[in-house]
Structure 1
Amino acid sequence: MTRNKDIDTLLRHMDPATEAPPARPQRARTDLEHVLSHDPSPTVRATTTAHRDGSTRPQPATPSIRRRRAVVLGGLVAATTAGLFVVPALAGGDAAFATWTASPVTLSGQDREDAVADCLASNEDVGDGMYAEDLANSEVAIAERRGAWMTVVLTGADGFESTCTTDASAPWFDKGMIGSIGRLGTDADPTPRTLKPTQLGTGMIMNEPISMAAGRAGEDITGITYTSITGEDITATVSAGYFAFWLPGDELQDASDGGSIVTVTYRDGTSETQELSF
């Protein structure tokens, strides 16, 4: 369905002939006029973010329209994608992570293609396009689904990494993305049985906290499990030398300083605990 058709469908859905009259009709008319006249192109000003190696890299600041917040979760630059319109709440979206699952499903087919395309598009303007070539040459290390939520990890030369988590059930004009992007060189390369997180902490998406961990996994590591404070086992995706997992809430807020314990399974079937930390 084209975006014009989407807009037509939504505006018909909002037709007062088929819906109850709004409690604030003037506000509704103002919002609708804003949707029809607003230029969706964000205005971005350059800022910088400090990183664990002492360097600074540019990141996008808040544009003139509403953004979904994404924060630096580790040694990479935060990346965000803007909502296209400022409109009243409409149908769609996974409120409060209601569909989230502790065990991921590997994305395939059209779902995988859509998730990767969204991640590429969300990051193409970061730092005035400074990662455009990295993105164009990147490979997909991880593509997973947890309920309505899709996570993609793109990788490339010189330690390039881009991570995106999005709500696939949200309407296209109101999607949010949380993730990170940057290059870490070879310093983050792990030994066969170690983990080197590049993203670890808590951010916000759709005004809800989300705790995330992602990074490099040694070649002997085949599985990772994190046990939440409520006792739930969260299964990480481990693929192509990378790992990723996330859960709703802010329990990894201080993980980058104090570390967080995970259970790691190795190729020979043995397992042990490791601490995730920078």
Structure 2
Amino acid sequence: MTAPDELAVLKTLDPATGADPQSPRAQATLHRILATPAPPPARRHSRWVPRLAIGTGLVAAATAAALVLPSAVGGDQAFATWTGTPSGLTGKAALDASKACRDNSDDQYKNQLATAGTAIAERRGVWTLVVLADRKGFGALCITDRSRHLFRDQFGAIGTTTDLPAPRALTPVTLGTGSSDGHDLSVITGLAGQDVTAVSYASRSHGKVAASVSAGQFALWFPGDELVNANKTGVPVQVTYTDGTAATLTLRL
């Protein structure tokens, strides 16, 4: 029986229609409807739920994650491996991470992805972060949980910005908090001026979080929702320059 048919039959059981809901025919119809099996519940996909503020020209990107429990493929254990200071990816590991980022990013940007270089390739525990970029403001960010053997979460942002930074400035393009498998990640990425050599954030929960800074890009992330309102309140970061001086910059999109 289709949904419209069921609705029509249910209306016949409404006392306002004049039908007797206690009649044998009405009772038989009601029992038939109640005996109809309910459709199975939809399977719940674990997905990156972006609550990030994304800079002009950038869009959040998401890939479907596993249809299995997070604890079986990463989850808490993966987040527990995170480190405040990243280690650089080199050799085959860097090539593989960059290729995965290109292959899983939005096909709309396939031409830019094909020519973009790997600006940043880092590891924090079992997690990798890759930034692909060119000299025209295009960038693609991918953060991946490498502990997942059956399925791997990969998420981030992609697009182009024309807001290039001054030599001693930063242009954030991703700023805020996103969620995956019920866990929150706080992320800051963007473009770094040519005089910027280091960027760090003083996290309330994790202490000093050092960014990777390379090829005119910077990127850092850490577990938790600390940056959920960052675009409204502003985020202070510490910046070091080529001349050895330092400053605090407040980032907003």
Q: Could you tell me the TM-score, scaled by structure 2's length?
A: 0.76
Q: What is the root-mean-square deviation of aligned Cα atoms in Å? A: 1.9
Q: Distance in 1 between matches of 2:144 and 2:108?
A: 22
Alpha-carbon shift at residue 65 of structure 1 (Å)? 7.6
Shift in alpha-carbon separation, 1:220–1:157, aligned structure 2, 3 A: closer
Quote the Cα distance in structure 2 between the aligned partners of 1:241 and 1:150.
19
Q: Select the residue among 47, 51, 62 that pairs with 1:68.
A: 47
Larger Rg, first or second structure (1 or 2): 2
With 190-199 and 221-230 compared, the bigger mean Cα shift is at: 221-230
Q: Please state if 1:247 is matched with 2:222.
A: yes
Aligned to 2:195: 220
Match of 1:110 in 2: 92
Q: 1:88 to 1:189 in 2, by over 3 A?
A: closer
2:208 counterpart residue number: 233
Matched residue type, 1:179: G
Unaligned runs of at least 5 residues, structure 1: 1-63
- Letter matched to residue 170 of structure 1: R
Contact 1:238 1:244 in 2 (8 A): yes
Same amino acid, percent of matched pairs: 42
Q: Which has the higher contact order (CA 8 A, sep 6+)?
A: 2
* Residue-by-residue CA offset, 1:13-59 (whole Å, 9 max, x unaligned): xxxxxxxxxxxxxxxxxxxxxxxxxxxxxxxxxxxxxxxxxxxxxxx
Matches within 5 A, 1:1-278: 66-71=45-50, 72-75=52-55, 76-83=58-65, 86-87=67-68, 91-95=72-76, 97-123=79-105, 126=106, 129-156=107-134, 158-171=136-149, 173-184=150-161, 186=162, 188-230=163-205, 232-278=207-253
Unpaired segments ≥5 residues, structure 2:
1-42
Q: Is the 8 A contact 1:225 1:263 kept in 2?
A: yes
Contact kept? 1:74, 1:256, Cα under 8 Å: no
Q: How far apart are residue 160 of structure 1 and its match?
A: 1.1
- 8 Å Cα contact 2:46/2:67 also seen in 1: no
- 1:86 Cα deviation after fit: 2.7
- Measure how far apart 1:67 and its partner are: 4.6
- TM-score (norm. length: structure 1): 0.70
User: Counterparts of 1:199 and 1:210 in 2: how far apart (Å)?
Assistant: 12
Q: Distance in 2 between matches of 1:250 and 1:88?
A: 22
TM-aligned CA distance change 1:221 to 1:88, over 3 Å = closer
